[in-house]
Amino acid sequence: MTRAERIAEICASHRGREGPLLPILHDIQREFGCVDAEAERVIAHELNLSRAEVHGVVSFYHDFSAEPDPRPCIELCRAEACQARGVEELVASAEAAAGERVRLKPVYCLGLCSVGPAARIGDRLHARLNAAALVKLVQSA
Amino acid sequence: MTLVRISDDALALACGADAVAAAFVAAGCTVERVSSWGMHWLEPLAEIDGIGFGPLFPEDVAAVLAGTSDKWIGAIADHPFIKRQQRLTFARAGKTRPLSLADYAATDGWSALNRVKSLTSPEIVAEVTHSGLRGRGGAGFPAGIKWRTVLEAPGPRKYVVCNADEGDSGTFADRMLMEGDPFQLLEGMAIAAQAIGAQQGYIYVRSEYPHAINKLNAAIELASEHIAPFRVEVRVGAGAYVCGEETALLNSIEGKRGEVRAKPPLPAHEGLFGCPTVVHNVLTLAAIPHIMVPGGAGLYDSLGIDRSKGTMPIQLAGNIRHGGLFETAFGITLNELIHDIGGGTASGRPVKAVQVGGPLGAYIHPSQFDLPFDYEAYAGADALIGHGGVVVFDDTADMGALARFAFQFCAAESCGKCTPCRIGSTRGVELIDRIRTGGRDADAVEALAQMHNARKDRRSRAEDLQLLEDLCETMQFGSLCALGGFTPYPVRSALKHWPEDFA
């Protein structure tokens, strides 16, 4: 099966849903690590939308990316509650440990605001981080 | 065999609950995974015969079982943090297994839904109106009036939409409810659906909450017979804070950019796919089951102060010693919340500021800590309750940097539809930088002779502050939604109470 056929199949699996675009984009992002121009073209064709409409949606949301990033990704909460618990002081050492190998992505709130600083790797959550714990997390990612 | 109860809430997992549970299993205990009590500084918290131990590490397990652990906190139900609360929405917190239909039925689950099946729509709406319940998402709009509007709106299709896009920093009550008591949310949605005549409901959950998404999907499958013919589907957000605004959320479910819609038309008239739609926050819908049991509406109305009725699940977060979920009747003061209940800052340093209501809420100075928790009292003090998040900062906080962050966050998350928010937020960041670094001279472009209207000399601090005030006013009154409209709250309050941090 070609990539385009697989994307068409994903679109078909959501047929019958009201407003299926976001669930489709999530599936494609999960499977291919990105929603690129080719994917947008197939989705537009399958949903009878213009490519501009699909691209407008893809580019609006932070969760979808145009190119895959194969690096491991650590999402570090940088919102107010984690700032109050000192996350900003951990950033420099974490960035140094991450270098180019690990992607350190800021997020705004993981809902762990009473036990921050908090981070997420995939579906695994980490709380009460200090500089050493975060560096260890980065190194083992 | 010893029965040990440990939470499987995302926060407990983040603090290492799985490893502790595994250690108890290895020691020959039976482990039951329940919802979280909401005492977050004690997580992972283990409960054995009503007695609590926490925060635990796997190596503490042997001492706990031998009865020699120094992590002993006594009977959980008698803990002052629990005892001082009045839990209605979170009545089951810590006590039931989130996905156990048996536990839910044994704790009065479905009784409200079964009762409303014999009531007419106007009767249900009248009871919700009588309870005085107001939207818990932040705006505080009376729920009964919203329901009546949708009920009376003509249309063959109507929807119930649950706003679970809990993006505010310092809030986690929606997440705890979805993970800890998902059936209660579904029951509330089913009652709303019956009242307004909806067949389909959506729960829009942010993608940052994978555990809540899994629990909800499992709960919907388990409860489908109970809520039938009503159907519910979980829709996952995609990392846009602005989708917590109800019209942006509706656009997002429809598969569009999460741009805000101009109101009117209200979603109650033209909401999801143009149909009349009830949009409520998780906590509003979860309050419905205990309001719709006999006498529930009267009880709700009797709690709270003034026009803020019932209870509010307040979330104590940030630099606070005893953080967690504290549900209580409206009217409690910040002094009680932060010092008596929260035990002051986690760092042990003095409290400098408290932000109530998420990133768009005002920073409150300790001199205002006697303000009662009440929608109108906060509005009168140029602050907002929002979703009930309380974030504490100690004296190391830089309020100028936090004001800059408010603009920066708005710039990052603006949907871009209206100019005050899209452009104003970026100009705000620049302006605060300029104020904090002592102004700047005209740049190369501004100095060009052709730039007739550009200013050639240096602006004074007073002029820049005036410009900031103008910008705040433009954003507050000119923005389409609360993102641009409320960003001036944290900025203005920081500048008003801590001007020294802007020097």
Q: For chain B, what percent of residues have pLDDT higher than 70?
A: 100
Q: Hey, of A15, A113, A128, A134, which one would you mutate to test binding to chain B, going by the most B CBs within 10 A of its CB?
A: A113
A109 and A132 together in one domain: yes
A83 and A134 together in one domain: yes
Q: What is the pLDDT of residues B181-208, one digit of tens each?
A: 999 999 999 999 999 999 999 999 999 9
Structure-token pair, residue B9: 């809430």
pLDDT class of B429 with cuts at 50, 70, 90: very high
| CATH at A98 | 3.40.30.10
A38 and A7 together in one domain: yes
- Residue A38 belongs to domain spanning: 3-60
A49 and A80 together in one domain: no
Residue B150's pLDDT is 98
CA distance B131 to B118: 19
CA distance B21 to A100: 36
Residue B443's pLDDT is 86
A56 and A91 together in one domain: no
A41 and A8 together in one domain: yes
Region of poorest pLDDT, from B34-38, B255-259, B289-293, B436-440: B436-440
Q: Are B228 and B200 in contact (CB under 8 A)?
A: no
Q: Are B502 and B495 in contact (CB under 8 A)?
A: yes
Q: Looking at residues A103-117, what average pLDDT do you find? A: 96
Specify if A66 maps to a domain.
no
Specify if A51 maps to a domain.
yes
φ, ψ of residue B321 to 5 degrees: the values are -65, -50
**What is the per-residue DSSP string for B60-99?**
GHHHHHHT--TTEEEEGGGSHHHHT---STTTTTTTS-TT
3-state helix, strand, coil in chain B (%, to 5): 45, 15, 40
Q: Are B362 and B143 in contact (CB under 8 A)?
A: no
Structure-token pair, residue A112: 């762990």
Structural domain total, chain A: 2
Q: Looking at residues A103-120, what average pLDDT do you find? A: 96
CA atoms within 13 A on the CB side of B56: 32
A90 and A114 together in one domain: yes
A101 and A45 together in one domain: no
CA distances from B446 to B38, B441, B454, B457 (A): 56, 9, 5, 10
A80 and A134 together in one domain: yes
Q: Please indicate if any CB of chain A lies within 8 Å of the CB of B10.
A: yes
Specify if A28 maps to a domain.
yes
Q: Looking at residues B71-86, what average pLDDT do you find? A: 96
Q: Looking at residues A64-93, what average pLDDT do you find? A: 96
Task: Give the distance from residue B48's alpha carbon to the nearest chain A alpha carbon, in angstroms.
Answer: 24
Q: For chain A, what percent of residues have pLDDT higher than 90?
A: 99
Q: What is the pLDDT of residues B93-125, one digit of tens each?
A: 999 999 999 999 999 999 999 999 999 999 999
Residue with the bigger pLDDT between B454 and B274: it is B274
Residue B98 identity: P
Residue B150 identity: V
Q: Are B341 and B84 in contact (CB under 8 A)?
A: yes
Structure-token pair, residue B100: 């156990």
CA distance B259 to B221: 31
Q: What residues are paired with B74 via a beta bridge? A: B52
Residue A57's pLDDT is 98
In chain B the domains, ranked by start, together with CATH numbers, are 3-83 (3.40.30.10), 101-302 (3.40.50.11540), 304-394 (3.10.20.600), 399-502 (1.20.1440.230)
CA atoms within 13 A on the CB side of B116: 31
A83 and A131 together in one domain: yes
Specify if A68 maps to a domain.
no
Residue A47's pLDDT is 97
Q: For chain B, what percent of residues have pLDDT higher than 90?
A: 95
Specify if A83 maps to a domain.
yes
A53 pLDDT above the threshold of 90: yes
CB pairs under 8 A between A and B: 150
Q: Looking at residues B351-365, what average pLDDT do you find? A: 96
Residue A141's pLDDT is 87
Residue B433's pLDDT is 95
A90 and A37 together in one domain: no
Specify if A29 maps to a domain.
yes
CA distance B191 to B189: 5
Q: Residue A61 carries which DSSP code?
A: S
Residue B438's pLDDT is 85
A52 and A77 together in one domain: no
The pLDDT mean for chain A works out to 96
Q: What is the pLDDT of residues B322-345, one digit of tens each?
A: 999 999 999 999 999 999 999 999
Specify if A65 maps to a domain.
no
Q: Please indicate if any CB of chain A lies within 8 Å of the CB of B402.
A: yes
Q: Looking at residues B401-415, what average pLDDT do you find? A: 97
CA distance B302 to B310: 7
Per CB distance under 8 Å, which residues of A are interface residues toward B? 17-23, 25-26, 56-57, 60-64, 79-85, 107-116, 118, 120, 123, 125-128
Residue B321's pLDDT is 97
Specify if A86 maps to a domain.
yes
Nearest chain B alpha carbon to A63: B238
Alpha-helical (H) ranges within B132-262 are 143-152, 173-180, 182-196, 210-227, 246-253
Q: Residue B259 carries which DSSP code?
A: P
Q: What is the pLDDT of residues B436-486, one digit of tens each?
A: 998 888 889 989 999 998 888 888 899 999 999 999 999 999 999 999 999
Nearest to B127 by CA among B328, B287, B297, B264: B297
Q: Are B76 and B47 in contact (CB under 8 A)?
A: yes
ipTM: 0.97
Residue B180's pLDDT is 97
